[in-house]
């Protein structure tokens, strides 16, 4: 690829502006940029998307080629089979549009999968939330997205983590930790207050997750 780029630009007015850097893009510190155009190794699609979306200063847009199923997850709607944690996280931080499908026969040699090109435009300003908290909530909700939220939260490991976080929250706010505290009951009360005891992540809108996160935080329940 490096040799091909040099070959194509050498002798053109743009050659003096060409800056080729060889390395692992996931480990590299990206400079400020306006537009990103990339055909990525498909196995780094997810970490690269979030590296871009958390990059500062905010860029104008990115046009990227992905494996078709991954691209469809980025633009999926609630209720869709492909709707997942990746979908909600990406759409929280950016507007995503599917631009075109790219058939496998456009490549030599042809890959085993179909591809798609998407346009990602970061939201500006970004939502005023703690992304680690947000993602922590989604990890629980989407671990089995067809389960009710009540069932997802009642898992032993989840309750243990939330209880630890609640103890930390009480200590930070100089609140005595109740001896008879019941985390399951507290979580259930928050879900009931939000009208989401029987809600399932697969069909929830972004606004539903936002409402739920704010309600949990108000009750002292945190996810990071």
User: Annotated binding residue at 39?
Assistant: yes
Residue 24, marked binder: yes
- In the 3-class helix/strand/coil scheme, how is the chain assigned residue by residue? CHHHHHHHHCCCCCHHHCCCCCCCCCCCCCCCCCEEEEECCHHHHHHHHHHHHCCCCCCCEEEEEEEHHHHHHHCCCCCCCCCCHHHHHHHHHEEEEEEEEECHHHCCCCCCCCEEEEEEEECCCCCCCCHHHHHHHHHHHCCCCCCEHHHHHCCHHHHHHHHHHHHHHHHHCCCCCCCCCCHHHHHHHHHHHCCCCCCEHHHCCHHHHHHHHHHHHHCCCCCC
Report the binding-site residues for S-adenosyl-L-methionine.
Answer: 1, 24, 39
Report the binding-site residues.
Answer: 1, 24, 39
């Amino acid at each position: 690829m490096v040799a091909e780029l040099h070959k194509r630009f050498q002798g053109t007015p743009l050659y003096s502006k060409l800056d080729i850097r060889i390395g692992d893009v996931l480990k590299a510190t990206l400079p400020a940029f306006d537009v990103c155009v990339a055909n990525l190794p498909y196995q780094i699609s997810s970490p690269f998307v979030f590296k871009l979306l958390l990059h500062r200063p905010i860029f104008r847009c990115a046009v990227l080629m992905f494996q078709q199923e991954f691209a469809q997850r980025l633009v999926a709607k609630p209720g869709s089979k492909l709707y997942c944690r990746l979908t909600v996280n990406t759409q929280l931080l950016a507007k995503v549009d599917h631009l075109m499908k790219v058939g496998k026969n456009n490549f030599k040699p042809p890959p085993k999968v179909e591809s798609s090109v998407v346009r990602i435009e970061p939201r500006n300003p970004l939502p005023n939330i703690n992304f680690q908290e947000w993602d922590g909530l989604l990890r629980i909700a989407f671990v089995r997205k067809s389960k009710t939220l009540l069932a997802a939260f009642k898992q032993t490991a989840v309750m243990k983590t939330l209880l630890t976080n609640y103890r930390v929250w009480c200590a930070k706010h100089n609140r005595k930790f109740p001896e008879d505290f019941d985390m399951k009951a507290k979580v259930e009360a928050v879900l009931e207050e939000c009208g989401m005891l029987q809600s399932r992540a697969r069909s929830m809108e972004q606004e539903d997750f936002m409402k739920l996160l704010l309600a949990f935080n108000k009750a002292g329940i945190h996810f990071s």
